[in-house]
Amino acid sequence: MKLLFAALFCCSYFGLFAQTRGQVTIIKDPMIDSLIAKRIALNTKEPGTGTVPYKPGPVVSQMGYRVQAFYGSDRRQVFNEQSRFNSLYPAVNTYITYKEPNYYLRVGDFRTRLEAQRFMNELRSNFPTLFIFREKINAPNLEYNDDPER
Protein backbone atom coordinates (compact mmCIF):
# COMPACT_ATOMS: atom_id res chain seq x y z
CA MET A 1 0.00 0.00 0.00
CA LYS A 2 2.82 2.35 0.86
CA LEU A 3 4.46 1.50 -2.47
CA LEU A 4 1.28 2.33 -4.41
CA PHE A 5 0.88 5.59 -2.51
CA ALA A 6 4.51 6.53 -3.20
CA ALA A 7 4.12 5.78 -6.92
CA LEU A 8 0.99 7.95 -7.20
CA PHE A 9 2.70 10.75 -5.31
CA CYS A 10 5.73 10.65 -7.64
CA CYS A 11 3.57 10.70 -10.78
CA SER A 12 1.57 13.69 -9.57
CA TYR A 13 4.75 15.42 -8.42
CA PHE A 14 6.39 15.06 -11.88
CA GLY A 15 3.21 16.33 -13.51
CA LEU A 16 3.60 19.62 -11.67
CA PHE A 17 6.96 20.26 -13.35
CA ALA A 18 5.86 19.34 -16.89
CA GLN A 19 6.69 21.98 -19.45
CA THR A 20 4.00 24.01 -21.09
CA ARG A 21 3.90 24.69 -24.80
CA GLY A 22 5.88 27.70 -25.92
CA GLN A 23 7.30 29.37 -28.98
CA VAL A 24 10.55 28.58 -30.72
CA THR A 25 12.34 31.52 -32.28
CA ILE A 26 14.80 30.71 -35.08
CA ILE A 27 17.52 33.26 -35.65
CA LYS A 28 19.54 32.78 -38.83
CA ASP A 29 21.63 34.73 -41.27
CA PRO A 30 19.65 35.97 -44.31
CA MET A 31 22.51 34.80 -46.55
CA ILE A 32 21.42 31.21 -45.92
CA ASP A 33 18.13 31.81 -47.72
CA SER A 34 19.88 33.43 -50.67
CA LEU A 35 22.36 30.55 -50.93
CA ILE A 36 19.53 28.02 -50.88
CA ALA A 37 17.73 29.99 -53.60
CA LYS A 38 20.88 30.06 -55.76
CA ARG A 39 21.39 26.32 -55.31
CA ILE A 40 17.80 25.64 -56.36
CA ALA A 41 18.19 27.96 -59.36
CA LEU A 42 21.38 26.20 -60.48
CA ASN A 43 19.76 22.79 -60.27
CA THR A 44 16.49 23.65 -62.01
CA LYS A 45 17.38 26.05 -64.84
CA GLU A 46 18.52 24.94 -68.25
CA PRO A 47 22.05 25.97 -69.25
CA GLY A 48 22.16 29.41 -70.80
CA THR A 49 18.69 30.53 -69.66
CA GLY A 50 17.58 32.89 -66.93
CA THR A 51 19.78 35.03 -64.77
CA VAL A 52 22.20 32.29 -63.78
CA PRO A 53 25.27 32.53 -66.02
CA TYR A 54 26.31 29.32 -67.77
CA LYS A 55 30.00 28.63 -67.89
CA PRO A 56 30.96 25.79 -70.19
CA GLY A 57 33.58 23.53 -68.75
CA PRO A 58 34.30 20.03 -67.62
CA VAL A 59 31.12 18.56 -66.23
CA VAL A 60 32.12 14.95 -65.88
CA SER A 61 35.23 13.23 -64.75
CA GLN A 62 36.27 9.93 -66.21
CA MET A 63 39.29 7.71 -66.47
CA GLY A 64 41.84 8.91 -68.99
CA TYR A 65 45.49 9.77 -69.38
CA ARG A 66 47.84 12.57 -68.38
CA VAL A 67 51.47 13.21 -69.23
CA GLN A 68 53.84 13.80 -66.35
CA ALA A 69 56.14 16.59 -67.47
CA PHE A 70 58.16 17.09 -64.28
CA TYR A 71 58.63 15.82 -60.74
CA GLY A 72 60.87 16.90 -57.92
CA SER A 73 61.01 17.74 -54.25
CA ASP A 74 61.50 21.51 -54.69
CA ARG A 75 58.12 23.27 -54.71
CA ARG A 76 59.46 26.42 -56.35
CA GLN A 77 61.01 24.47 -59.20
CA VAL A 78 57.74 22.65 -59.93
CA PHE A 79 55.86 25.96 -60.14
CA ASN A 80 58.58 27.37 -62.41
CA GLU A 81 58.17 24.35 -64.71
CA GLN A 82 54.41 24.84 -64.67
CA SER A 83 54.74 28.48 -65.75
CA ARG A 84 57.24 27.48 -68.45
CA PHE A 85 54.82 24.83 -69.71
CA ASN A 86 51.89 27.30 -69.63
CA SER A 87 53.88 29.78 -71.70
CA LEU A 88 54.58 27.10 -74.33
CA TYR A 89 51.12 25.45 -74.30
CA PRO A 90 48.53 27.85 -72.86
CA ALA A 91 45.52 25.79 -73.98
CA VAL A 92 46.55 22.63 -72.07
CA ASN A 93 45.50 22.19 -68.43
CA THR A 94 48.20 21.58 -65.83
CA TYR A 95 47.87 19.82 -62.49
CA ILE A 96 50.31 19.81 -59.58
CA THR A 97 50.00 17.07 -56.98
CA TYR A 98 52.05 16.40 -53.90
CA LYS A 99 52.86 12.91 -52.68
CA GLU A 100 55.48 13.02 -50.00
CA PRO A 101 58.33 13.86 -50.68
CA ASN A 102 57.79 14.87 -54.34
CA TYR A 103 55.68 17.29 -56.35
CA TYR A 104 54.35 16.10 -59.71
CA LEU A 105 53.43 18.25 -62.71
CA ARG A 106 50.96 16.42 -64.92
CA VAL A 107 49.44 17.96 -68.01
CA GLY A 108 46.49 17.38 -70.30
CA ASP A 109 43.21 15.52 -70.20
CA PHE A 110 43.43 12.80 -72.82
CA ARG A 111 40.73 10.22 -73.45
CA THR A 112 43.03 7.69 -75.08
CA ARG A 113 46.62 6.63 -74.55
CA LEU A 114 47.32 7.37 -78.23
CA GLU A 115 46.42 11.06 -77.78
CA ALA A 116 48.68 11.24 -74.73
CA GLN A 117 51.51 9.52 -76.63
CA ARG A 118 51.26 12.01 -79.50
CA PHE A 119 51.38 14.93 -77.10
CA MET A 120 54.27 13.37 -75.21
CA ASN A 121 56.25 13.11 -78.47
CA GLU A 122 55.58 16.81 -79.07
CA LEU A 123 56.83 17.69 -75.56
CA ARG A 124 59.99 15.57 -75.70
CA SER A 125 62.21 18.41 -76.98
CA ASN A 126 61.33 20.75 -74.08
CA PHE A 127 60.82 18.30 -71.21
CA PRO A 128 63.27 15.37 -71.06
CA THR A 129 61.60 13.02 -68.53
CA LEU A 130 58.04 12.24 -69.58
CA PHE A 131 55.67 9.52 -68.45
CA ILE A 132 52.05 8.67 -69.19
CA PHE A 133 49.71 7.97 -66.27
CA ARG A 134 46.17 6.65 -66.24
CA GLU A 135 44.05 8.57 -63.76
CA LYS A 136 40.75 10.36 -63.34
CA ILE A 137 40.61 13.34 -65.71
CA ASN A 138 38.25 16.20 -66.40
CA ALA A 139 36.41 15.35 -69.58
CA PRO A 140 37.71 17.67 -72.31
CA ASN A 141 35.26 19.83 -74.22
CA LEU A 142 34.40 18.40 -77.59
CA GLU A 143 34.17 20.92 -80.36
CA TYR A 144 30.69 20.02 -81.58
CA ASN A 145 28.73 22.15 -84.00
CA ASP A 146 25.20 21.11 -84.93
CA ASP A 147 25.22 23.40 -87.98
CA PRO A 148 24.45 21.10 -90.98
CA GLU A 149 26.40 23.30 -93.43
CA ARG A 150 29.75 22.39 -91.88
- The predicted model scores a pTM of 0.54
123-138 pLDDT per residue, tens: 888 888 899 999 888 8
- Cβ proximity of 130 and 70 under 8 Å: no
* pLDDT-derived band at 82, boundaries 50, 70, 90: very high
